[in-house]
Structure 1
Amino acid sequence: MNAKVNISNRAGASFPVRRMNFNFDSVPEYWMDGSAGLTHFMTALSALFPDGEQLFIDSVRAVRYHPAIKENEALQKEISAFIGQEAMHTHEHVGFNVAAQKYGHDVKKLERQTGVVIQTARKAFAKVVKPFGMTQEMVDLTATTALEHFTATLASQLLMNQHIQKIMTDPTMSTMWYWHAIEENEHKAVAYDVYEAVFGKGVKAYALRNSALVFAMVLIFLVQSSFVLRLLKDDKKLNLKELGTIYSYAYSPSKGIITGMGKEMLAYFKPRFHPNDLDTVSLLETWKAKLGL
């Protein structure tokens, strides 16, 4: 374990807040088995997290005292732990991004651009759905609900895909990503439960959450892909070899982590879907034991 861990569960939630303290000083430039392409692919993902997870926190905080859930003590505890975990994810990804920056990769710029994209997209989407009686708060929470499904699905694939695990050769980085993956699945139902409690399960809520997922996935693909290409270009490693490696481990039918997400992502469109329908309990227990969590 390459971090000092302080576990807090004062909120009494069903999952704890683990206060990590990873040391990224010794992380090599190309920490994924020496591959620039795969390392930049993960760095591009990491650049999305600080502002993305701040959106998650803000959107849930904005409605946590809504009359529908204000007196729900159990859900309030889950919300507190959700915010705690997401805050820690932001903290550690900022730390990793700073470590990548020292090698000359301008991740800080990518973080800033992520913030601009998020703010532009949330406001634009709110304008589109405003005629249907949907507020900015509803849009933000819907986006969080959709994106939480994406991150939890990506996380579960990371914990299951042995092809990816074999090339995550740096112990600090692999532990950081596995820890993040575990916690994304621990709290995967919180935003969804808040959304359903506040906005219900009607046709409007169903249509909004589904359209938000489609919109968000297209946006993430375009932004993250552009970040990968920029990192590779600036590193003078934008070539067919690196792009082929990314395709093999991210998008190929046989071992791609992104293509492996397909079935679980589509489950979101079921009218009676709930995140806990996708059972990851035993998977998480196995990985928590491996990491000593």
Structure 2
Amino acid sequence: MNAKVNINNRAGASFPVRRMNFDFEQVPEYWMNGSAGLTHFMTALSALFPAGEKFFIDSVRAVRHHPALKDNIELQKEISAFIGQEAMHTQEHVGFNASAQRYGHDVETLDGYTDKVIQTTRKLMAKIAKPVGITQEMIDLTATTALEHFTATIASQLLTNSYIQELMTDETMKTMWMWHAIEENEHKAVAYDVFEGIFGKGLKLYALRTSSLVIAMATLFVVQSYFLARLLKQDQQLNFNSLREIYSYAYSPSKGVISGMGKEMLLYFKPGFHPNDLDTHALLEKWKANLGF
């Protein structure tokens, strides 16, 4: 591992904030098994993170002092650690995205597009839902819970799918994605607990959180696919071989990272669902030991 890990757990939360400081200077252009297609797939995903994780932080921070939460000391600790971890994820993905930019891949523009999509979608959804008593804070927070379920689920795939791990042939990038995956599972319940702590449960809120997942996943698929096609086209790699590799990596029924998420993603629609219903404790302990945390 090329990063010196500085762990900060002064908040006393159940998970720490790790400052990694990865060095992306030596990361090759096509760091994923020498494949332009697979590398661009992951770069298109990474382009979503800086603006996306800032949105997560802003959504939770906006309500953390709500009367229903302000005296919940344990949850306040978790919120602080959640914000810290997401801030570190943003920092490292900004660093990687900058390294891709130096190879001539225009990730900076994609980052700007991500922010525009987030802001446009959240405001539109709040406007549509306002007549039934749904506020902007509710929209933002329930979108965060939906996207946190997605990130925790894809993180579990990265940590369990040996085929995917073998394709991550650059150790810096493999460590970055596995570190990110660990932390997404460590804090996967925080936004959900904040949402339920303020707004509670019930049919209306079930409809809100499940519809938010549908909208978030449809938007995410369209945006990431557009980013991928744009990166491939700019790099003159939009061809059959690249698309075949991407299909095998992401969508093949037997080993694809996206297709493998289906069962866990659908659990979000179960009434009474909670992120901690998916027990990843042993998996995280294994990977924390592997990475020397």
Normalising by the residue count of structure 1, what TM-score does the alignment of the two structures yield?
A: 1.00
**Residue in 1 aligned with 2:87?**
87
Distance 1:234 1:103 in 2: 12
Distance 2:206 2:70 in 1: 23
Deviation at 1:194, TM superposition (A): 0.3
Distance 2:188 2:262 in 1: 17
Q: Which amino acid is 2:38 matched to?
A: L
Normalising by the residue count of structure 2, what TM-score does the alignment of the two structures yield?
A: 1.00
Distance 2:42 2:2 in 1: 19
**Residue in 2 aligned with 1:157?**
157
Deviation at 1:4, TM superposition (A): 1.2
Q: Which amino acid is 2:204 matched to?
A: K
Secondary structure of 2:18 counterpart: strand
**Residue in 1 aligned with 2:209?**
209
1:246-261 correspondence to structure 2 within 5 Å = 246-261=246-261
Distance 1:191 1:265 in 2: 17
- CA displacement 1:162-184 (0-9 Å, x = unmatched): 11000100000000000000000
Deviation at 1:204, TM superposition (A): 1.2
Distance 1:10 1:132 in 2: 41
- CA displacement 1:193-222 (0-9 Å, x = unmatched): 000011111111111000000000000000
**Residue in 2 aligned with 1:11?**
11
Distance 2:62 2:204 in 1: 20
**Residue in 2 aligned with 1:228?**
228
**Residue in 2 aligned with 1:131?**
131
- CA displacement 1:196-252 (0-9 Å, x = unmatched): 011111111111000000000000000000000000000001001100100001000
Q: Which amino acid is 1:108 matched to?
A: E
1:267 pairs with 2:262:
no
1:30 pairs with 2:30:
yes
Distance 1:252 1:124 in 2: 34
Deviation at 1:36, TM superposition (A): 0.3
Distance 1:221 1:90 in 2: 20
**Residue in 2 aligned with 1:285?**
285
Distance 1:200 1:44 in 2: 35
Range moving further from structure 2, 120-129 or 86-95: 120-129
Secondary structure of 2:62 counterpart: helix
Secondary structure of 1:173 counterpart: helix
Distance 2:244 2:121 in 1: 31
Secondary structure of 1:268 counterpart: helix
Distance 2:174 2:9 in 1: 25
1:34-73 correspondence to structure 2 within 5 Å = 34-73=34-73
Secondary structure of 1:7 counterpart: strand
Deviation at 1:277, TM superposition (A): 0.3
Distance 1:46 1:175 in 2: 14
Identity of paired residues, percent? 75
Deviation at 1:128, TM superposition (A): 1.2
User: Which aligned runs of 4 or more in structure 1 are off by greater than 3 angstroms?
Assistant: none
In the alignment of these two chains, the number of paired residues is: 293
Q: Which runs of 5+ in 1 are unaligned?
A: none
Deviation at 1:130, TM superposition (A): 0.7
Question: How large is the RMSD of aligned CA atoms in angstroms?
Answer: 0.4
Secondary structure of 1:18 counterpart: strand
**Residue in 1 aligned with 2:120?**
120
Secondary structure of 1:94 counterpart: helix
Distance 2:205 2:145 in 1: 11
Deviation at 1:266, TM superposition (A): 0.2
